[in-house]
Amino acid sequence: MPSILERYQRIARLYDVLDFPFEHGRYRHIRPALFRGLSGRILDAGVGTGRNIPYYPEGAETVGIDISPAMLARAARRRAAAGAKVDLRQMDVTKLAFEDGSFDAAVATFLFCVLPEDIQEPALLELARVVKKGGPIRLMEYVRPQGRVRRAIAKLWEPWMEWAYGAGFDRRTEEHARQAGFDVTESRFVVGDLIKVLSIRTSA
- pLDDT of 49-77, one tens digit each? 999 999 999 999 999 999 999 999 999 99
- Which range is least confidently modeled, 49-58, 59-68, 150-159, 170-179? 150-159
Distance between CA 163 and CA 192 in Å, rounded? 24
Distance, in Å, from the CA atom of 203 to the CA atom of 132, rounded to the nearest integer, reads 10
Would the pLDDT of 1 be above 70? no
CATH dotted code for 4-201? 3.40.50.150
Question: Quick one: pLDDT at residue 166?
Answer: 85
Whole-number average pLDDT of the chain: 92
- Alpha-carbon span 107 to 97, nearest angstrom: 17
Rounded CA-CA distance 20/26 in Å is 10
